[in-house]
Amino acid sequence: MMLPHLFGMLPEDLAAHLRADGVAVRDAESRRILAHAIAHGREGHPVSRPVPRAVEAAVDKLVDRSRLEIVERATDSSDGFVKYLFRLRDGRLVEAVRIPLEVPGRFTVCISSQAGCAMGCDFCATGRLGLERSLDAYEMVAQFIAVRDEAPGVVTGVVFQGEGEPLHNYAEVMQAAAILAHPCGGRIAAKAITISTVGLVPAILRYARERRPYRLIVSLTSAVDQRRRTLLPSASAWPVHELADAVRVYQKAVGGRVTVAWVVLGGINTGRDEVDALRELFDGVPLRLNLIDVNDARVGGFARASAEELSSFRDELRTLGIPVVRRYSGGAAKHAACGMLAGGSQQQS
């Protein structure tokens, strides 16, 4: 029987686990142990403010503290993105990416929430893998710790946008996000934690109801219902107008603009019909639209839009009166860009 993992616990979880085994641990001591291991990443070193030996011995006996095995690191020399390949305890492989920000010495970590993905989006290499399994919270936090500890600077953000659909693994992702935001955990501001979804309507409504403090990005890619059903097969469970209604509920719950991601597929989803559908679906909802180039032509045979096509599409989108941002997705040379993570070694690529 595997022990529960320290990286998947909040201080109150650790305290409750130890007390259930008869260990007399104070709340401050559980916070100190977690801060030492997660916030400071100093496993193997003495706790700066010592805790009783009996408590430390109990943690060693009752809690797993192992790190993920790093199989490979691959750096894209053109932009500084670094892809990490991790081996989980059951031998499965998942990937995470260190993303340099515009401010030198600042980074975001893109982490995986599942090994593989069940969503099957036509333009995404991860979707071609199928779902192997969902990750536990500690496996997501462990990705963050490993990448953060090697960063030549400060990690200031986390994006749940690697392998998997985060809202398909709702409880574990929310636990991981809470740990990453905790002062004893990742110490990442809640608003700097982003959770991306292809649009699981019941989960979005739950997210809104619970008023989670993290940013939500909805990957729309098409506002035309039948086209979206083709490009994102999982979306067929919910017509696009139901997704729009869920986004409206979420926006009213949290306020501010909702970020919508749009993978630009040349000749497919850049027409006037998409702009008209967006206007009809999201009338009155403050949005921000992130345009992302499709990255891997080997997946689905999709091509990037030409400069003229993209410019025309952006001009049409501006008539909606919403901010439109062309988001850079780096690391393509090492298969680290959006839609390219497929749990494989560069040596096998």
Report angle CA 273, 203, 218 to the nearest 5 degrees.
35
The structure tokens 């979880």 sit at 13
Looking at 110, 121, 184, 338, which residue is catalytic? 338
Q: What share of the chain is helix, strand, coil (3-state, %, to 5)?
A: 40, 20, 40
φ and ψ at residue 318, rounded to 5 degrees: -65, -20
d(CA 342, CA 95): 8
Distances (CA, A) of 253 to 17, 86, 181, 204: 34, 37, 21, 11
**Cα Rg of the chain (Å, integer):** 21
Q: What is the DSSP letter of 92?
A: -
| DSSP letter, residue 64 | B
What kind and span of H or E run contains 321?
none
Known catalytic residue: 165?
no
H-only helix segments in 73-194: 137-150, 170-181
Q: Please indicate whether residue 95 is annotated as part of the active site.
A: yes
Region of 290 (left: φ > 0; alpha: ψ -120 to 50; beta: rest) is beta
Hey, how many other C-beta atoms are within 10 angstroms of the C-beta on 28? 12
Contact 302, 265 (CB under 8 A): yes
Please pick, among 29, 43, 95, 316, the residue that the annotation labels catalytic: 95
* Chain centroid to CA 102: 20
Using the 8-state DSSP alphabet, how is residue 214 labeled? S
Would you name the residues annotated as active-site residues? 95, 338
